[in-house]
Chain A
Amino acid sequence: MDTVIPKTSTVLAALLRADFTTQWRNRRSVILTLVVPVIILISWKGLVAIKGGAFALSNSITIGLIATGLMGYTNAIARDRDKGIFQRLRVAPVPTWTIMASRICVQLVMIILVTTAVFIAGNEYDKITLTPSGYAFTYFTAIIGGLVYLSLGQMVAGLITNPETVNSTTRLVYFVFIMVGMFGELGILGVQVHDMEHWSPYGTVKTILAGSMEPGKWTNDTSIALLLTGLYAAIFAAIGIQRFKWNSNK
């Protein structure tokens, strides 16, 4: 038998190239994902003086991460599943994990881009600067936080098959996160909502981002938030991966 299985590295390279190209062709929605947190940051200029730079940056990055994971990633996999794109890939001699790994790599780059866009805007418009270790540490927590929303998106795509329903669900969740997240954070919605928000996947991600921007101010509270963030990601991913179907069975 002279059958040769392609090298996993070759397969991954081909998938990555295609997935990044696809992302590039959809650059309008990519730009939107980057612009929304920047606009929020700029419109919060007045708050920076009261609540501090880390507060404004961490909220903006969180919103960018939610848009990336929940909207971008989730809707793309729901659509591609519905079109049979995954099934065609799966009948090739590729280990299944490579298909998703490539998709997630694209999202990791998006997370870095969102974080960088907010950093630059914060510097340009609000004169917020962090220490070099603050920047480095924040990229790291942004990836952890981004994974929460990617796995939340994975869960949505695992529980819901119809791409239109996935789309409206992710929009709704995005909207709720922004409302409860931003306004709850400001205390506008009362103490209870503020507490609930604080330990929600919005609040914990925001907390670890803010904590890593000023590593000196990292508290016990921040550590608990980090732990919870990891827990959320693990739970969402477990459900999302377990319930995920590769075809939509129309």
Chain B
Amino acid sequence: MNDNQENILTVNGLSVNYGKFQAVQNVSFNVLKGEIFGLLGPNGAGKTSTLSALEGLLKPQSGSIVIDGYDAGEKPLYARASLGVQLQSTSFQPELFVVEVLELYAGIYGLTLTRNEILAILREISLEDQAFKKFGQLSGGQQQRVSLVIATIHNPKLVLLDEPTTGLDPQSRRQLWERIEAIREKGHAVLLTTHSMEEAESVCDRIAIIDHGRVIAVDTPQALIDKHRTDPEVISVSRRGKITLEDVFIALTGKTVRA
């Protein structure tokens, strides 16, 4: 079924409209098995809209999405079964205990996990003590850990993370990077969105820079830096003589602050 065995995700000519507004325009990229791929772009660039189309939350205007060999338009349930997802703003029923939230999603993904197995999962993310607290009573960082562990509970081949580090303190952010790398270690591919260049440079194998709904560059962070090192634009925005991914990003997407 899959003509390219190396791709876990192939996006081709994807366009997403909200009414007449084109949020995503003719976007193409692919994610390889076992890689961490970053979708970088300023606010409103179209990152969440792109992911929403992959997740099946909205119907694209045009283009094709193939996840693990399944066309997301034709076989949405199969495509989604291979996906683990953390939405930009996910929540779970605040009345449910943390173990119950995990049990719900284990069931939804067709897993039969015992209470003890669920508790073991919570132990791994140091939330065993919170197991019988209501989800709504957890701190933001703890809720975030729950939502990340649910994104990988069914051992998905591709994990989609929408701005996973936004709102985290530096410690939690570092810990999350380690968790994301651990996800890859287990053989999953990760597609994440971020506007943290530091994050993209240090955890992503490859990145796509997206702006105004269009992909303007796809490569490894280092290759992007090398390729644009001598651009006058890049040099003019760089500080202290060292060219960083952020300089390339600013040069490519402009200095205007987005709402």
Report A's interface with B, CB cutoff 8 A: 1, 3-7, 10-11, 13-15, 17-18, 21-22, 25-26, 80, 83-85, 87-95, 246-247
Contacts and interface: CB of A to CB of B under 8 A. Distances in A.
Given A11-B107, A91-B83, A1 B93 contact: no
B257 interface: no
B176 to A, nearest CB: 19
A14 B108 contact: yes
A85 B92 CA distance: 5
Given A1-B69, A14-B104, A17-B104, A95 B92 contact: no
The 9 A-B pairs of least Cβ separation, nearest first, read A14-B107, A6-B110, A25-B95, A83-B91, A93-B81, A18-B104, A91-B55, A93-B80, A91-B85
Interface of B: 1-2, 55-57, 68-70, 77-78, 80-83, 85, 87, 89-96, 100-101, 103-110, 134, 147
14 contacts: A3-B82, A6-B109, A14-B106, A14-B108, A17-B103, A18-B96, A18-B104, A88-B87, A88-B90, A91-B55, A91-B57, A91-B85, A93-B81, A247-B57
Contact of A13 (B83, B96, B107): B107
Nearest to B90: A88
Contacts of A92: 80, 85, 105, 108-109
Nearest to B157: A3
Contact of B110 (A5, A22, A85): A5
Given A5-B81, A14-B108, A90 B103 contact: no
Contacts of A3: 68, 70, 78, 81-82
Contacts of B81: 3-6, 93
Contacts of A26: 95
B80 to A, nearest CB: 4
A15 B89 contact: no
Nearest to B150: A88
B87 A87 contact: yes
Contacts of B93: 18, 22, 80, 85
Given A4-B81, A84-B87, A84-B89, A91 B56 contact: yes
Contacts of A91: 55-57, 80, 83, 85, 87
Contacts of B90: 84, 87-88
A19 to B, nearest CB: 8
B80 A17 contact: no
B83 A22 contact: no
A166 B185 CA distance: 46
Contacts of B83: 91
Given A21-B95, A83-B94, A84-B87, 12 more contacts: A3-B68, A4-B110, A10-B107, A14-B107, A15-B108, A18-B104, A80-B93, A87-B87, A88-B87, A88-B91, A93-B80, A93-B109
A26 B134 CA distance: 12
B69 A85 contact: no
